[in-house]
Amino acid sequence: MRSLSGPVFPVAGQVTLPQYHRGALCDLLPAIGARLGIAAPDARPDGPVGLGLPEADRWVVVLVDGLGALQLADHAEHAPYLASLLRGDGDHAPFDGFTAGLPSTTVTSLTSLGTGLVPGRHGIVGYSARHPVTGAFLNMLTWQGEDDPVSLQPHPTRLRTFAEAGVAVGMVAPARFEGSGLTQVALAGPVFHPIHDERDEDCRVAAILDAATAGPRSLVYAYERELDHTGHTRGVDSGEWRHQLRRIDAMLERVRDELPDDVRMVITGDHGMIDVPDEHRLVVEDVAALQGDVELVAGEGRFRQLYTAPGRAGAVAERWRGELGPHALVRTRAEAVAEGWYGEVDPEVLPRYGDVVVALLEDWAVMTRTLPGELALVGMHGSLTAAEMYVPLVVD
């Protein structure tokens, strides 16, 4: 167990289902909307989850890609500012038990954050999936080959809803993300403040400050990606990852110091991460039992989505269970939906999910040579272990 005299998190490998409507990324902007007096378009009868947020009219939401709550607790000495917030040293205690959705991956998390919807409603079902129209492999991060990403995620973002209600909404992110497919489906609506050089901290801090003070009611979404990139290439258990954590911690403390006192800064992440050793990587093409009746392998190493020959999902699931044993949870699509993995699932979204889904446990992964880029990854995520699912939610 981990504790910083604040939240107590379970061990890293414990299975952790998403806390939809109780404390997940999809609940954050609806909760801020409630503070701004803006009801969600499809508000639940019991109202939005409050998440313990204070009253305020101006907000900065910083999402640190790859920042899991357990990793932050484990590396508290490298992030004294964030660790103090995780302990609850300030005026507002952290929200205990805040999670990503499933899969615990960037495209799904950012879309849940931006739309305020569970994955089963917004339909961005993971890093990659089978295209619901063409049946081809679709990368939902790059959207290469898809000319109309919005057709697959037509729900309005909360950011757009806030802007239409008169809130000054800004987004501070690397310039190359302006107008990208993921920005269109997950984060459309803000005034975009491009960062052309991510190493230019002065520019980034100034952009956040300008956007936060653009009106009497404001919301800024700011994105930091280097921790995730370093975790993938070097691993969470690396000096390079700890260096990035120290840099980000100092930058966020500086942002807080320069913001007006009436602005509330919320810091969260989109997923945690686990280092996967070479000896715990199975390659689909090397294991005969993993190949039969599987027409397409998508998802990512920690959360595979398998699209099977018609009527063969049950047989495929049984073979994968037999091969992976205690190292994975293998579910048919219907079983995963029934267990609440994706929240409420709209009928048009349902076929996007794999006929069989494979959530890896411990520090195991299932790789495929059809996606050669992932073979070089050290840190991975996507599954439902506590290390991947819990993300911080702290307010300063």
84 Cα distance to chain centroid: 23
Distance CA 40, CA 124 (A): 20
Domain count, the chain: 2
Say whether both 20 and 120 belong to one domain: yes
Asked if 82 and 143 sit in the same domain, the reply is yes
CA–CA separation, 333 vs 351, rounded Å? 9
Domain that holds residue 337: 278-378
Backbone angles phi, psi at 346, to 5 degrees: -70, 145
Half-sphere exposure of 183 (CA within 13 A, CB side): 19
This model's pTM is above 0.75: yes
For residue 38, give the DSSP letter.
Answer: -
- Does 103 sit behind a cis peptide bond, omega within 30 degrees of 0 on the bond before it? yes
Q: Kindly tell me the sign of the dihedral angle through the C-alpha atoms of 319, 324, 327, 333.
A: negative
For residue 285, the domain's CATH number is 3.30.1360.180
- Using CA atoms, how far residue 230 sits from 63, 104, 132, 278, 379, in Å, is 16, 18, 32, 18, 9
Side-chain half-sphere of 51: how many Cα atoms within 13 Å?
29
Residue 254 and residue 283 in one domain: no
What are the backbone angles phi and psi of residue 322, rounded to the nearest 5°? -65, -35
CA distance linking residue 39 with residue 23, whole number of Å:
18
**3-class secondary-structure state, position 126:** coil
My answer on whether 243 and 289 are in the same domain is: no
Say yes or no: 25 and 154 in one domain.
yes
270: domain CATH number is 3.40.720.10
Amino acid at 31: A
Sheet holding 356-360, edge to edge: 294-300, 303-308, 356-360, 328-332
**Domain identity same for 253 and 290:** no
Tell me: do 168 and 284 sit in the same domain.
no
**One domain for residues 254 and 302:** no
Residue 385, strand partner residues: 15
Q: Do 314 and 261 share a structural domain?
A: no
Domain shared by 321 and 182, yes or no = no
C-alpha closest to that of 102 among 282, 320, 305, 372:
305
pLDDT in single tens digits along all 396 residues of the chain: 344 444 556 677 799 999 999 999 999 999 999 999 998 766 665 556 778 899 999 999 999 999 999 999 999 999 999 999 987 776 667 777 899 999 999 999 999 999 999 999 999 999 999 999 999 999 999 998 888 999 999 999 999 999 999 999 999 999 999 999 999 999 999 999 999 999 999 999 999 999 999 999 999 999 999 999 999 999 999 999 999 999 999 999 999 999 999 999 999 999 999 999 999 999 999 999 999 999 999 999 999 999 999 999 999 999 999 999 999 999 999 999 999 999 999 999 999 999 999 999 999 999 999 999 999 999 999 999 999 999 999 999
